Amino acid sequence: MEKQERAALVRMEGINKAFPGVQALTDAQLTLHAGEVHVLIGENGAGKSTLMKILCGSYTADSGNIYLEGNPIRIHSPHSARQHGIVMIHQELLMAENVTVAENIFMGREPMRALGMVDRKRMEREADEILNGLLQANVSVDVPVQALSVARKQMVEIAKAISTHARVIVMDEPTSSLGESEIKTLFSQIRQLKEQGTCIVYISHRMEEIFEIGDRVTVMRDGCFVRTCAVREIDMERLIQLMVGRELGEQYPARTVRSSETVALEVSHLNQGQELFDLNLKVHQGEILGIFGLVGAKRTEMAKAIFGASHRDGGEIKVMGERVQIQTTKDAIRHGIALIPEDRKLEGLVEIMGVGDNTVLPILKRLQSGPFFNRRKAAAAAAQYAERLSVKTPDLRRMVRSLSGGNQQKVVIAKWLASEARVIIFDEPTRGIDVGAKSEIYRIMNQLLEQGVGIVMISSEMPELLGISDRIMVMKEGRFTAEFSKGEATQEEILKCAM
């Protein structure tokens, strides 16, 4: 152990980080060595990305220490991290699409000539040496980045990291948008970097990749460090147990109604390009159908296709046994389908509008008196649903952006309750809200079931799905891979099917 500590390139100790209503990291730790691929794994929400964003300067830890070769360092920005040789390649690539590959690689660090002019020839030569020499990526350095495939864009990001003389490169889900041949190329480049003494921190949900590319693996759970070990000393079964090793609590309210035989929503042979493949599902009145999947599973894409928010290539949708044509979100709303989106701020709310105005958005037609909008009627409807959901706001005119995350989510739900939807798709409804607000959301869902609503619940939290779902379907890369009844589902089996 002492030998490992002395050889450590980076050591993080006692890292704590809280966001409003959420303790993201508690006494987290991580030790990295030069010339290794260190895989960081855990369920969605385990704290992996938060810990790495602290290491790479996007977040600042509330407490804890970071050491570089045994010396304490302070990282307060991505620029500060780069100065210490630490960079992160995010899952969503952050690039200037309309400028060249070389300009992206050296952005903000362009080699200069006399009189403050950029030395373009030198910049393109050095970019070419890294991309096509060291990485053998076969990328033209003088073309705009927007002309490249996702895989080649990723190569550009790796080249950018190398150009900063990075000693630690963090890769967050780097293969989520890559095909098999592209993954092989990426792994080849990772091995080259390792041989040169670079440490790669590799975040992935794909278990098979851990054993193909990893040297050591660290498991995180609920914001805490669980274990670090050599990949060769552990198997997939044990890793899954370490990732999900917690008991379900008593935080889920008892169900007061059983599902009926009536099918509220039936989807048959739903397809969408290279995203969704022959999806079939049924949800009954009074039933919660849970949908689980890891990053890249295409759960949200499925929800949007059903709701008419994105184009689908084929498939049949029935609501209450009747075949319906859904080409737009208006069609879905008219037929009684609602979607509570994953990104409530971007897609679920108009943040600069008041609580009341947001609540009545789907029912504006019903609130007209002749050609005029009946404001008194709208205010009464908004007040009714705000009271029913216990939305905490001093005034219905208060802008919704001023509310807590939990209350914002209640406003999104109130909006669709007002529409009298018969099927509601909840996409990550409890993400980013505190435990008390989660309980309120579960209570509201129970009330909806009592009214005969069918619920599709998409969640990355397995304990949540196991706690409230009647059935759970598992998605992987746009396909359903398994279905479990409430009694037969276990966290280990679900995770195996998702991976």
SS3 content of the chain, % helix, strand, coil (to 5): 40, 25, 35
Cβ atoms of 471 and 488 closer than 8 Å: no
Give me the chain's average pLDDT, please.
85
**Residue 84 neighbours by CB distance under 10 Å:** 20
- Asked if the model's pLDDT at residue 44 lies above 70, the reply is no
> pLDDT digit string (tens) for 438-460?
777 888 888 889 889 999 999 88
> pLDDT digit string (tens) for 393-405?
777 777 777 776 6
Minimum mean pLDDT among 32-41, 201-210, 313-322, 477-486: which range?
201-210
- Asked if the model's pLDDT at residue 5 lies above 50, the reply is no
Predicted structure pTM score: 0.59
> pLDDT digit string (tens) for 324-353?
999 998 899 889 998 888 776 677 777 778
Phi/psi for 358 (5° steps) reads -60, -40
Minimum mean pLDDT among 112-126, 298-312, 375-389: which range?
375-389
Q: Residue 157: its pLDDT value, please?
A: 86
274: confidence class by pLDDT, cuts 50, 70, 90:
confident
Q: Residue 399: its pLDDT value, please?
A: 78
> pLDDT digit string (tens) for 118-142?
999 999 999 998 888 877 778 889 9
Q: Distance from CA of residue 214 to its chain's centroid?
A: 23
Q: Residue 280: its pLDDT value, please?
A: 96
Q: Residue 4: its pLDDT value, please?
A: 45
Vertex 496 angle, CA 491 and 497, to 5°: 100
Which segments of 376-459 are extended strands (E)?
Answer: 423-427, 454-458
Q: Residue 176: its pLDDT value, please?
A: 67
